[in-house]
Structure 1
Amino acid sequence: MNQQNTKPSLAVALIVKNEAKHLAACLDSVKDWVDEIVILDSGSSDTTEEIARQYTNKFFVSNDWPGFGMQRQRAQQYVESDYILWLDADERVTPELRQSIQQAVASNHINTVYQVNRLSTAFGKFIHHSGWHPDWISRLHRRNETQYNDVKVHESIVIPANGKIEKLTGNLEHYTFEDFFEFQRKQQKYAELWAEEKFLKGKKSSIASAVIHSMFSFIRTYILKAGFLDGKHGFIIACINAQYVLNKYLGLHLKHKK
């Protein structure tokens, strides 16, 4: 159902911090066909701002950190366009995905959230298994209908009441870490945020639970999700996932011991 006679406008929105390495390539993949680029920075110390201002004058800074979900809510407040396409700085929109996004925006369906299929790299190689692909994530929606939830990490877009989800064609390329220890540091940050959030909600864990969840994470990634088909990269990812899960549950357990 089309609600407007005029073509709906489209914004790309990002939350960033120290993304000078990736930001230009990301924005190059959208700059020629979106109506608005909104970037909310959380205190970069590199040249992120300088790069961002080459593409948009809608660059904002919020130095305190409320978590990923609420930071995206803040960014949305600066958006004026009808639709929002959410990207991370290390992602690139492929031509096929661009065409699908443009068709979805032109259709202008109400109460619809669109998902993209993210194809990620690990240490320089695209990962097609290991639970990484297909990787359907909600990233496109009408601005006035919904927003991200309040979750501090692994946030998601709230599906509107009586809403529906549609899938777009084409991949969203995701260039993750090439350095093993950089990847580990990110996972450790996510584990800490997860444990803090669960602790505040009164959730508990134990050493046995941490070990069991960690072991199952490895089995799920490497065997059930066919990580072995990704070769040594799949094995490494399975190990990292297991360590991440162990850190989450042990961290939660120890918070209750303070």
Structure 2
Amino acid sequence: MIVKNEAAHLKMCLDSVVEWVDEIVIVDSGSEDETVNIAKSYTQSVYTSLPWPGFGKQRQIAQSHMTTDWVLALDADEVVSEELKKSLLRLADTEALDTCFLVNRFSKAFGKYIKHSGWSPDWIIRFYPRNLTQYNDDLVHEKILVPDGAHVKKVIEGVLLHDTYDNLHHYISKTTGYLKAWSDQREGKKKSSLMKALIHAWGCFIKMYFIKLGFLDGKHGFILAWLGMHSTFVKYIDLWLREQRNEN
């Protein structure tokens, strides 16, 4: 796990795994709350890694401290369901060390689980052999690298429960860092403009609310689509503004 200021969520996450995993490795990136103290009450393998290298490389650092055959990558705001626990233990005992496993993440936003809006199903690789692969170097939205010849399968039984946004202030705090990292990663490599920002923003809203059936999530679906539109506009405008600054 990689964490920063996750005292509100970390205990619930660790409670869902502490009784059945062989080791817990946590890398903190400068928490100012009780995150580190909570982490140390569950494991001795708590490390601090500064300055911040981006999500992908920070996950690589966490994996470098591990010794187990399998890695289950978690965020502090995620909880492993009982059904998923049973599936992962069975796979660890029976599967060859050449397969990465997709886990279905079921996410909650502002107190409600979101069943549409492009949020569900949400298949992500989170369970994989430690010596087979690792995360890529991306600053944000990092992904597991799948080596040539490796297999990818779905864990059918069980879900990863994700409490992604507590409230609007939490959303703003969380997404601000993501948006900056998105622009940092693309600055000088990707072109933007006001028109592109508008097209991508409205495209995001239409996709989430209509194509991905966000309207079936009620008011929460509309709010998420609108916030997604706003965030998309901000990141493309940020990229364009950086281009303008560099040209002047």
Measure the CA separation in 2 of the matches of 1:46 and 1:161: 42
SS of residue matched to 2:126: strand
**Cα distance, 1:159 vs. partner?**
0.5
The CA distance in 1 between the partners of 2:214 and 2:24, in whole Å, is 36
1:206 Cα deviation after fit? 0.6
- The C-alpha deviation readout for 1:88-146, integer Å capped at 9, x for no partner, is 00000001101111111111323211011000111101111000110001101100010
How big is the shift at 1:182? 1.9
Q: Aligned AA for 2:161?
A: E
Q: Which residue of 2 aligns with 1:58?
A: 45
**Corresponding position of 1:177:** 165
1:17 Cα offset (Å): 0.5
> Which consecutive segments of 4 or more residues in structure 1 shift more than 3 A?
none
Q: Structure 1: which amino acid aligns with 2:122?
A: D
Q: Is this contact kept in 2: 1:15–1:75, CA < 8 A?
A: yes
Indicate whether 1:163 and 2:119 are aligned.
no
* Matches of 1:64 and 1:149, distance apart in 2: 18
Q: 2:175 aligns with which of 178, 183, 187?
A: 187
How many residue pairs get aligned? The number is 244
> Which of 226, 230, 237 is 1:250 aligned to?
237
Q: Identify the residue that residue 107 of structure 2 maps to in structure 1.
A: 120
1:87 to 2:74 alignment: yes
1:31 corresponds to which letter in structure 2? Answer: V
Q: How many angstroms apart in 2 are the aligned matches of 1:106 and 1:160?
A: 22
Distance 1:192 1:112 in 2: 33
For 2:5 and 2:173, the matched residues in 1 are separated by 15
- Looking at structure 2, the residues matched to 210 and 230 of structure 1 have their Cα atoms a distance apart, in angstroms, of 26
Hey, what's the Cα distance between the residues in 1 that align with 2:71 and 2:135?
A: 11
SS at structure 2 position matched to 1:165? strand
Q: CA deviation at 1:176?
A: 1.5
Instruction: Indicate the residue corresponding to 2:57 in structure 1.
Output: 70
**Aligned amino acid, residue 102 of structure 1:** L
Provide the C-alpha distance between the structure 2 equivalents of 1:252 and 1:203, rounded to a whole number of angstroms: 8
Deviation at 1:185, TM superposition (A): 2.6
In 1, Cα distance between equivalents of 2:185 and 2:151: 28
| Kept in 2: contact 1:91–1:172 (CA 8 A) | yes
Q: What percentage of aligned pairs have identical amino acids?
A: 48
- How far off is 1:163 after superposition? 1.2
Query: Which residue in the other structure is 1:96 paired with?
Result: 83
Map of 1:29 onto structure 2: 16
Q: Which amino acid aligns with 1:110?
A: L
Aligned equivalents of 2:98 and 2:193: distance in 1?
41
- From 194, 199, 206, the counterpart of 2:193: 206
Matches of 2:41 and 2:184 in 1, distance apart?
Answer: 37
Deviates more, 1:182-191 or 1:146-155: 182-191
TM-score normalised by length of structure 2: 0.96
| Cα RMSD (Å) | 0.9
Deviations 1:49-107 (A, max 9, x none): 11111110000001210100000001111001111000000000001101111111111
Take 1:110 and 1:27, find their aligned partners in 2: how far apart are those partners?
25
1:221 aligns with 2:211: no
For the residues of structure 2 that align with 1:254 and 1:212, how far apart are their CA atoms?
Answer: 17
Structure 1 CA distance, aligned partners of 2:134 and 2:118?
Answer: 26
